[in-house]
Amino acid sequence: MGILEWIHNMDAQILLFIQQYLRNDMFNWFWKGITFLGDGGWFWIVLAIVLLFPKKTRKAGFTAALALVIGSIVTNLVLKTAVARIRPYDAVEGLVLLVAKLKDYSFPSGHTCASFSCAVVYDKMYPGKPGKAALILAVLIALSRLYVGVHYPTDVLAGALVGWLSALCAMKLVSYWGNRKNAV
């Protein structure tokens, strides 16, 4: 058995474990609602736009928006098409999907990438409760993708990593542009 087959088998076993032991009809509404917050990155896009208006939060809003763009390009235009991993509900026998089927590939998780790209920015710029709340929401959105059956655990881990790196890249770019502007 090769490493990729081993990873796929581990991913599948984790998803089936979640389905069998952690899913509960009483909580399905919660996890579906959490996953909805990540649909198309709409929650994070709206939050970034709202933060663009007050001068005090404009830098955070711009940085988060830039991180979203970077993460979206890497995830949706590069990695998803390059890897072309099919969704777990089409590959894992017995996995029951809790939301509508998706039309794109699985790796990496775009919901997770968008969530972490913004949450890491907010945590760095607002290290108290607002930043921690954003990180908690990002983790919940990532976990929701496993719970509803649309992503493998490695998709979510890769999405978090791409999001984190996108946030760091955006913060570096904004800092660089700010330093250049101040030097002129």
Q: What is the mean pLDDT of residues 108-115?
A: 98
- Of residues 51, 156, 171, the one with CA closest to residue 113: 156
pLDDT band at 180 (very low <50, low <70, confident <90, very high): confident
Alpha carbon distance 4, 144 (integer Å)? 24
- Give 48-59 pLDDT, tens digit per residue: 999 999 999 999
Q: Is the pLDDT of residue 108 over 60?
A: yes
pLDDT top residue among 95 and 127: 95
pLDDT at 183: 63
| Domains of the chain and CATH, by start | 3-17+33-178 (1.10.606.20)
Alpha carbon distance 158, 58 (integer Å)? 29
pLDDT at 184: 56
Question: Residue 11 is which amino acid?
Answer: D
Q: What is the mean pLDDT of residues 107-112?
A: 98
- Give 2-43 pLDDT, tens digit per residue: 999 999 999 999 999 999 999 999 999 999 999 999 999 999
Using CA atoms, how far residue 154 sits from 14, 49, 145, 161, in Å, is 10, 30, 11, 10
Is-contact 157 109, C-beta < 8 A?
no
pLDDT at 181: 72
pLDDT top residue among 125 and 183: 125
pLDDT band at 67 (very low <50, low <70, confident <90, very high): very high
Q: Is the pLDDT of residue 178 over 90?
A: no
